[in-house]
Chain A
């Protein structure tokens, strides 16, 4: 079974550009979570999505960040007009629709903003 897939693994953007991070959950998992890990800091929750719905976005910055999990295809975390402070590792996790729903993480996308 394939685990959570994230691409790209490394992404370099210049200030002001857009970054698009993709996450393909484990087959059969209908819940996706995004977490961010800033350099030398802990993992912080950003957003929780189910297919076509954002359930909890309490950890998302109010501006420039958006996430989606369409009916078909991967979940996308989009960062518009990136700034140097967006440089971080972004991890996606997926979980099945069971209780409790154990989250399984992907390898992450490392975003570097020049």
Chain B
């Protein structure tokens, strides 16, 4: 069975500082991994995904994440935070390589950007 742990339910950074949101997963098969962003009172928007191939993946809005199999991690980073990055971020895992497409989500990390 899959599961996702997001360390830190709230993260605050200064504008222009590095953003690091942590995600560790558990999966019995090679996982597909996703990061979603949710702005207030909106649905979830896909930021980036890892399925196969290159372990460093780039997404929208300057975010990127690196799949580290040995650490079972998929941390999300952005070199320089912008005020518009303030939102809730969710990491998710699926066993897509087996044909099972259901997503299992972490509990989310709320990012605050301090001007």
Do the two shown chains form a genuine complex with each other? no
